[in-house]
Amino acid sequence: MTIDWQTLDREPGLSALYVHAATRRKITGTTLPDKGLRCWVDVDQQRLAAYRKVCGFADDGLLPPTYPHILAFALQMQLLTAKEFPFPLLGLIHLSNRIRVLRPMGAVSRARVSVQVQNLQAHAKGATFDLITTLDDQLGTLWEAESRMLCRGVKLEGEPVENEVAATLELIEVAHWKAPADIGRQYAKVSGDYNPIHLSAASAKLFGFPTAIAHGLWNKARTLAALAEQLPTANVEIAVQFHKPVRLPSEVTLLASAAASSGDLRLMGAGELEHMTGHWQPLT
């Protein structure tokens, strides 16, 4: 698919985009738009410091491997609330996330973010698509990501596709932490992601959840922060699948394989509840 790129001269404002998201509740088609959005963004050091604190990253002079998602959030919102996008943003389910860090992300003060959607596929509960995000500097691509999203109720022809990969390495407990009741609000302040299912039990119940749940990307970020000494800082791909949500408040345990160029991870809750599984490996 050829992408028709639109370059913005500034980041979109989130307030108007949330209004668009709140007023669009219907599926309007089954074809993804061929438009992509690009914009140069500045790295706000105060926001970056707040993100590190909320997610547990040390200040090592590098952007955390999940931070480009924060830089891209407003652009992603504009793409997913555009008239041409056929699915309502509220209600989309984040199934999996794959990031690739191509080069060390040190001394990044300004970068170009690009976002697009592609790969519409049938799913047992509706349809999935990939939200593709890239981060470039003057030398080329630094980082790229694929977030697989599910829209329930979409009817597509074809057999459902399943892409989960089971862990194959021996895992040991490496960390344990609490996800407090207000972590959804803390993460929203640094990310801009004020999805009601993460903010409070009252707002989550409006969307069918008995209590608020943690952001999937906070779970991934907190996990990668805990594994920082085991993971390469570049030339690495880190993929996770999200399973049962982390209800707030909760306590979780991180299991991982020994430090190596490739490895597996699993985030577990009480009663062997599996929240997230994943794998890291060198780029090929």
The verdict on 106 and 193 lying in the same domain is no
Whether residues 32 and 129 share a domain: the answer is: yes
Q: Which residue type, as a one-letter code, is found at position 252?
A: V
163, 197, 217 — which closes off a domain?
A: 163
- 77 plus 88 within the same structural domain: yes
The first and second tokens of residue 211, run together, are 């209590």
- Tell which of 138, 163, 188 closes a domain: 163
User: Are 156 and 261 in the same domain?
Assistant: no
Angstrom distance (rounded) from CA 7 to CA 16: 19
Helix (H) or strand (E) segment spanning residue 241: strand 236-242
The DSSP annotation for 206-236 comes to TTT-SS-B--HHHHHHHHHHHTTTTS-SSSE
Domain boundary residue, one of 132, 163, 194 = 163
Residues 119 and 228 placed together within one structural domain of the fold: no
Three-state DSSP class for residue 52: helix
Q: What are phi and psi of 267, to 5 degrees?
A: -105, 120
Q: Is 233 within 8 Å of 104 (Cβ atoms)?
A: yes
Tokens at 241, concatenated: 């699948």
What pLDDT band is residue 98 in, cutting at 50, 70 and 90? very high
Summarize pLDDT for 124-180 with one digit per residue, the tens: 999 999 999 999 999 999 999 999 999 998 988 776 666 666 667 899 999 999 999
Across the strands, what pairs with 263?
280
Same domain, yes or no: 182 and 278: yes
Tell whether 278 and 227 lie within a shared domain.
yes
| Residues 152 and 133 occupy one common structural domain | yes
- Is the per-residue pLDDT at 34 higher than 70? yes
pLDDT tops 80 at residue 1: no
Collapse the DSSP code of 79 into the 3-class scheme (helix H, G, I; strand E, B; otherwise coil) and give the result: helix
Same-domain status, 1 and 54? yes
Number of domains in the chain: 2
Kindly report the CATH number assigned to the domain that includes residue 136: 3.10.129.10
> What pTM does this model have?
0.94
Domain coverage including residue 91: 1-163
Are 90 and 211 found together in one domain?
no
Predicted confidence (pLDDT) at residue 240 exceeds the cutoff of 70 = yes
Does the bond joining 249 to the residue before it have cis omega, within 30 degrees of 0? yes
Q: Tell whether 219 and 241 lie within a shared domain.
A: yes
